[in-house]
Structure 1
Amino acid sequence: MSVQTSLSQHVVVLGASPKPERYSNQAIRLLMDYQHNVTAVNPAFDQINQCPCVRELAAIHQPIDTLCLYRNASQLAKQIDEIIALKPKRVIFNPGTESWELQQALTQSGILWQESCTLVMLRSGHF
């Protein structure tokens, strides 16, 4: 099923999984259904769901509209500088990824962020 959207975004999924039951995998599929340009990030794969996968955030060289987080706060704390360096327009903290430390760094850098669910946002038309 392909769903049309008027504003395609470059969306990066940090913590992408090849396992279909994982929310990050479901998000990749739904983002692609909505015709967003998706880049997955996972050091172990070159592709997930026919979506290009990079091994690290530093490998992304094009502007990022939205960064969707699917890693726990302790893992994200180690990536704060990398995330800030990417300068995404928006960061979505999916349930279980909330990181006060990263949220403060994003706010100080002028990067918008929200605690929400990518899947719910897409399905409800609020992405």
Structure 2
Amino acid sequence: MQPSKKTLVIGATPKPERYAYIATEMLHDFGHEVVPYGVKKGNIGDYTILNEWPADQQFDTITLYINPTLQEGFYEQILALKPKRIIFNPGTENSVLDEKATAENIQTLDACTLVLLRTNQY
């Protein structure tokens, strides 16, 4: 098993059919510390979805489940966390944030968190 990578899931939701929900559970199942953040109040398993930005925490990875238009309001906050990498899941690809992150030496991936986990590439 790979070392745990603390991950912020942006776009978390209490709806079990949504990929952000599934990713949060799967990250946990694969032994990663996970912090779900979203606008909807609720839980994902034992995790409470944060509705306030976790500015005081450090993350290895940020995985995005919000569209590029919604991401615009988070550029500064995401970059201020200084994660090692940002994963743009399908539908979240964003060249502007990608360029900003790359300029800050943050690795970016256009990939699916679920696939990365299942193929042991996370």
For 1:81 and 1:60, locate their aligned partners in 2 and report how far apart those are by CA, in whole Å: 11
Asked if the contact 2:39–2:51 (Cα under 8 Å) also holds between the matched residues in 1, the reply is yes
Alpha-carbon distance in 2 for matches of 1:120, 1:8: 17
The structure 2 residue matched to 1:43, chosen from 18, 39, 43, is: 39
- 1:45 aligns to what SS in structure 2? coil
Q: Give the match's secondary structure for 2:49.
A: strand
Q: Is the 8 A contact 2:61 2:87 kept in 1?
A: yes
Structure 1 unaligned segments of length 5 or more: list them. none
Corresponding residue SS for 1:77: helix
- Superposed structure 1 runs of 4+ greater than 6 Å apart: none
Deviation at 1:65, TM superposition (A): 0.5
TM-score (ref. length: structure 2) = 0.93
Deviation string for 1:17-41 (max 9, x for gaps)?
A: 1111111111011001011110000
How many residue pairs match? The answer is 122
Q: TM-score, normalising length from structure 1?
A: 0.90
Question: What is the 5 A alignment of 1:64-103?
Answer: 64-103=59-98
Percent identity of paired positions between Structure 1 and Structure 2: 38
- Residue in 1 that maps onto 2:116: 121
